[in-house]
Structure 1
């Protein structure tokens, strides 16, 4: 819970570095909170995805901040995380402008499939990068978070 609260307190801090532990504990606790809230809400009321949407929306900025700091810890720019958004927009733009957005019978479904594959490959790349060990010692984004006293 300490790591989750640390990320929530640093919700708009895109500078510095974040350890793997900080990033993955934040995601784990966020998932557990959302799951628990959904179960309680479903048992007390009826199923509604809005409670999950509210939780994810409230944690969106802290997630982006800790992801950028995690990328910094591996020596990469935070813009690598924004690359996912760029890839998604580019793939959808190609779908739209090529006329394949809703033309499954044209035989041009391969454009959509290749776009989806590109998105999945980028997500896999980000997953690998976010799992990598951080740079030992200081890098251009700040001191090693393992060496900094909390």
Structure 2
């Protein structure tokens, strides 16, 4: 999955935690958010001084898709999205989540859906 496809997919699934996200989808979206914050932070610094107007709006606009793609990434590794709550544990929670985010997803279908790399058809919702 390339950069543009990953960003488009994350915004199309704006508030969807169901399903699975490949590593490339997650990490391209993380790069998009990082780059957006850097660029808008510089623009804020030039235009508004110390006020973070544009980067604040960008952060709010990307908060929900960021949480959702992280949940789908955990689903790909066979874990529930509730594990995202580990982030409230300083440093340890971040490191554990980072380790899970870089791991390869489970091969084949798991309880969260078909393998996104295998190209399996998505199950029909009931």
Q: When the two structures are superposed, what TM-score results if normalisation uses the length of structure 2?
A: 0.85
Residues 99-140 of structure 1, C-alpha deviations (whole Å, 9 max, x = no match): xxxxxxxxxxxxxxxxxxx52111100110011000011111
Matched residue, 2:116: 145
**What stretches of structure 2 of length at least 5 have no aligned partner?**
121-126
SS at match of 1:59: helix
Matched residue, 2:95: 124
8 Å Cα contact 2:44/2:52 also seen in 1: no
Bigger Cα Rg = 1
Number of residue pairs matched? 117
Which residue among 39, 42, 52 is the counterpart of 1:49? 52
**What stretches of structure 1 of length at least 5 have no aligned partner?**
89-117
Structure 1 runs (4+) deviating above 4 angstroms are: none
By percentage of residues, which structure has more helix? 1
The RMSD of aligned alpha carbons is 1.5
